[in-house]
Structure 1
Amino acid sequence: MITLADVEAARDRIRDVARHTPLDHSHTFSERTGAEVYLKLENMQRTGAFKIRGASNRIQQLRDEERAAGVVTASAGNHAQGVALAATRAGVPSTVVMPEYAPISKIRATEGYGADVVLHGEDYDEAAARAHEIEREEGRTYVHAFDDPEVVAGQGTIGLEIVEDCPDVETVVVPIGGGGLISGIATAVKAETDARVVGVQAEGASSVVPSLAKGKRVELDRVDTIADGIATRSVGEYTFEIIRERVDEVVTVPDEAIASALVAVLERSKALVEGAGAVPLAAVLERAFDYDDGETIVVALCGGNIDLNVLSTVIMRGLIERGRYLRVRTVLKDRPGALERLIEILAAERANIYAIQHDRTSKDVALNAADVELDLETRGHDHVAELIATLESHGYEVEVLV
């Protein structure tokens, strides 16, 4: 297993490539949770995510013949950009295999950093299989996204920065996909402090919890989560052993909580993170693990590379989860003034109308009635409950659609 010395050596190698990212104390999330919450803003890293650290550490140690042959990797997006930039800076040719449904923003960014991009497969694992074929066919060096000691050591430099900027840290919360990030951070943090390290996975891509329960790696049949950056079927072989030894606890969070956390950090901290970046904050806000009032918690916001189309969907889901958006259906008498009366009630309850669909031809209502769907901006779950109760008290039958 890697040691603190390996992480410190990695820091020296990548000093000119990777930024020392800010550690921001969040008054909002501290007040909400009762803890002292700090955000490690790795979304402000070059390429928009932590992956540049591990990729740079690995590529800078290639032999001359390996440099000439080039590198290949597989990635859902962030590692792709890290390898592309690190390879280009080192003058090394790079090919990156990405899943066919990788966000277009990440594909374009990877190409922009100088890599040749190949789209293959439905997820990371199928992309990785194709990348290994290219490795054999072209004699390239495979730069693994997480299951490589030098990559893990590079990611561990985040842990050194956390300890340097927050020496009193008591808990560090880190997302887990393949396990490279948390393995590196845990190595650094555990060697320097008594702090605990908590790992977090999305419920739809949770391989670590069953793996720890069985004492061996478990591979999922499929993954399904908005946190595409950690959507792997299995934790790495090398990283699993480090997690078993150096990570104190691993928990999971649902996509609804991830979306809500993403919206919260965007709205209150003015920081844009991707799904994987919001995962550890979701665990803190949902109290997926126990912590004490006043406990100093550092949350690793690992990346901010989110596709704009995905962002719009996630924001909407986050607003719904927080009671900030409501879609309802009701039936009106098809007579003059019926819709106006409904709108007056909504206005009195301070519900802002985004959209109205008024359909008198629906087969689901009587001939003298009209089907109405309304998209509403609301002010929280209590407001939603009050609004529905008011509508029902005026004789409307209300169906909540979202």
Structure 2
Amino acid sequence: MITVADVEAEAERIARYVVRTPTVPSPGLSELLGAPTTAKLELLQRTGSFKARGATARLLTLSGTERAAGVVTVSGGNHGIALAVMAGMLDVKATVVMPRTAPASARGIAESAGASVHIADTMDGAFALVDELRDSGLTLIHPFDDPVVIAAQGTVGLEFAQDAGELTDVVVSIGGGGLASGVATAMCARRRGIRVWGVETEGAQAMSAALDAGRPTPVALSSIVSTLSAPSASQLTYEHVSALLTDVLTVTDAEAVQGTLDLANHAKVWAEPAAGCLLPASRQVLARVGEGAKLGLVICGGNATTTDVSTLAERFGLS
């Protein structure tokens, strides 16, 4: 498992390339949830999500031979965008594999940044294709099964711990678990007694399945939240989450989309459903811990268009 020293090392490595995003008390969310709430606005990060941190850190570790050959990754959207943009900035050729369910905007941004984009019919198919491309000589930059990536994502938590006021509970979204693993490593080291909670959507419950089984296990994917849709946790992220998180909560797709609308209306930020899921999960946290909670929410990304969210809201009958 990584340590807070690893997170601090990655913070120094990537400092000149990424944004130290704002950490702000949110009066609107505090009123909505009925508890003091502070938001870490990682949707204001370069490329629109926290993924720029891990992608940049891993790119900076490449050898000369690896840089010349190029890199490959698999992504439901945000990691692919981040790798494409940051690789272009660092003059490394990138190949991104996405499932057909990934947002068209994500594919377009990755291509505009100079990456070669391959589309697979399913997320399982995307992971299989990326293995083939890795075997052809490209260096895999995995979205979550990599200690450098996890430590770099943990810089979100390091900044949150340094910049926030008093917190009792931090809520963070889980896809493959890289962000949650890194954030929990940093927060638990820097804030004694803090509780860190993970959130998944129904139909994208790779970490919940791993915790139930005692090991990573494949899951069937049906969630509309492609950026959380990992077909399995990794052994590395499972070990971090099982050791450091208080629990992993589940919300519905409709709740995640409603949370996106609520973030716009009450927090005045335009997030994506992968961040919207934090609000219904926060209500679960408050119901479990009782009075006195002070919430911290990692608003992980904002790469959803108004059309994306409007379409989903209509689908679920939300307003």
| Cα deviations by residue, 1:26-81 (Å, 9 ceiling, x for unpaired) | 21221232211111111111101110000111110111111111111111110001
Name the structure where helix makes up a greater proportion of residues. Answer: 2
- The 1:99–1:309 alpha-carbon spacing in structure 2 relative to 1, beyond 3 Å, is same
- The 1:69–1:82 alpha-carbon spacing in structure 2 relative to 1, beyond 3 Å, is same
Unaligned runs of 5+ in 1: 325-402
TM-score, normalised via structure 2 length: 0.95
| Cα deviations by residue, 1:184-216 (Å, 9 ceiling, x for unpaired) | 001111111121110010012112223212212
Question: What is the CA-CA distance between 1:167 and the residue it aligns to?
Answer: 4.7
| Structure 2 equivalent of residue 383 of structure 1 | none
Q: Decide whether the 8 Å contact of 1:70 with 1:92 is kept in 2.
A: yes
Greater relative contact order structure (CA < 8 Å, 6+ sep): 2
1:224 aligns with 2:191: no
Q: Decide whether the 8 Å contact of 1:95 with 1:117 is kept in 2.
A: yes
Matches within 5 A, 1:242-391: 242-285=240-283, 287=285, 290-316=288-314, 320-321=317-318, 324=319
| Structure 1 equivalent of residue 156 of structure 2 | 158
Question: What is the CA-CA distance between 1:118 and the residue it aligns to?
Answer: 1.2
Moved more, 24-33 or 265-274: 24-33
| Structure 1 equivalent of residue 202 of structure 2 | 203
Q: CA separation in 2, counterparts of 1:209 and 1:288?
A: 20
| Structure 2 equivalent of residue 237 of structure 1 | 235
| Structure 2 equivalent of residue 72 of structure 1 | 72
- The 1:168–1:73 alpha-carbon spacing in structure 2 relative to 1, beyond 3 Å, is same
Q: Decide whether the 8 Å contact of 2:40 with 2:296 is kept in 1.
A: yes
Unaligned runs of 5+ in 2: none
Question: What is the CA-CA distance between 1:308 and the residue it aligns to?
Answer: 4.1
| Structure 1 equivalent of residue 180 of structure 2 | 182
Question: What is the CA-CA distance between 1:120 and the residue it aligns to?
Answer: 1.6
**Residue type matched to 2:261 in 1?**
V
Q: CA separation in 2, counterparts of 1:40 and 1:317?
A: 29
Q: CA separation in 1, counterparts of 2:163 and 2:156?
A: 11
1:107 aligns with 2:104: no
Q: CA separation in 2, counterparts of 1:116 and 1:103?
A: 16
Q: CA separation in 1, counterparts of 2:269 and 2:205?
A: 26
Q: CA separation in 2, counterparts of 1:211 and 1:289?
A: 25
- The 1:48–1:11 alpha-carbon spacing in structure 2 relative to 1, beyond 3 Å, is same
| Structure 2 equivalent of residue 84 of structure 1 | 84
Q: Decide whether the 8 Å contact of 1:252 with 1:288 is kept in 2.
A: no
Question: What is the CA-CA distance between 1:314 and the residue it aligns to?
Answer: 2.6
Q: Decide whether the 8 Å contact of 1:262 with 1:315 is kept in 2.
A: no
Displaced runs of 4 or more, over 6 A: none
Q: Name the Cα RMSD after superposition.
A: 1.6
**Residue type matched to 1:73 in 2?**
T
| Structure 1 equivalent of residue 46 of structure 2 | 46
Question: What is the CA-CA distance between 1:260 and the residue it aligns to?
Answer: 1.2
TM-score, normalised via structure 1 length: 0.76
1:121 aligns with 2:121: yes
| Structure 2 equivalent of residue 377 of structure 1 | none
Q: Decide whether the 8 Å contact of 2:176 with 2:206 is kept in 1.
A: no
- The 1:288–1:74 alpha-carbon spacing in structure 2 relative to 1, beyond 3 Å, is farther
Aligned length: 318
Q: CA separation in 2, counterparts of 1:54 and 1:303?
A: 14
Percentage of matched positions with identical amino acids: 39
